[in-house]
Structure 1
Amino acid sequence: MTDHDPPATTSAQHLPGAGQTGAGAFVRGTVDEVPEPTSLLPHPDAYADWEDQHMSLALLRSLPPRQRQVLAWTLDGYAPAKIAEQLSMTSEAVRAGLKKARLAAVRYLAARKDDDR
C-alpha cells in the first residue's frame, strides 16, 4: 500500500448477512493490509510440483512393466542391489532395465518438448 492509496475497508452494507447479529454480522472498519488471496495450492511452487508429478506418472505409464518397476523404485531412492533383492532379479538386470527406462524417458521428454512448440 502506498501513501496515495485509500485504506481498505469492509462494509456491512456490501457483504452477505448485513444487518444480522451473531455469526453473520460484520463490523465496519479499516484494515492495515489487505491479505493476499489464497489459492488451493499450499505454496507458490505447488503447481509446478503437481505438474512434475503428473508428468512423471505419465512417463512411468509409457514404459513396459519391468522398466516401470525399476525406475519407480529408483525414483523412490532405492539402490539397484536393493531393488534386485525385492523384485527377485539380478543387479545387472535392474541396471539394464534402468538404462532402457532412462533412454525411453529421454525419448518421451523430447517428444513432449516437440509437442509444446
Structure 2
Amino acid sequence: MLLLRAIIRPEKVKEVLDALLQEGYSSVTKMEVYGRGKQKGIQIGDVFYDEIPKEMIFMVIEDGDKEKVKNIIMEHARTGENGNSGDGRIFISPVDEAYTISTEDEGL
C-alpha cells in the first residue's frame, strides 16, 4: 500500500476529484493547506505572498495503482498546456499497515 499526498491549486480540486471518482478512486481525504514552493512565494505589485493557499489530497492506494493515480492527478491538476509554477507536488510513501476502525479489518 502507498500513501499519496497531492498538494494542488484550490481551483483544480473538483476536476481532480471528479477524474479520480470516474476511474473508481472514491476514497480521498482533503484539507486546506498553506505554503510555498521553490519560488518562495509570489509578489503582486507591492504585496509579497509567502504562504499560498493550496489543497492537499490524501489517498491510500494499492502499489499497482501508483502510476495510474499519479497520472490522473498530474493531468487534471496541471494548468495550461505545459503546466505552470505553483501547480503543485505529489508525494508517495509506503504504508505498512491500515485498519478499518469499525470492523477492525486490516488493509484497504
Higher relative contact order (CA 8 A, sep 6+): 2
In the superposition, the TM-score normalised over structure 1's length comes to 0.29
In the superposition, the TM-score normalised over structure 2's length comes to 0.30
Higher helix fraction (1 or 2)? 1
Greater radius of gyration (CA): 1
Higher strand fraction (1 or 2)? 2
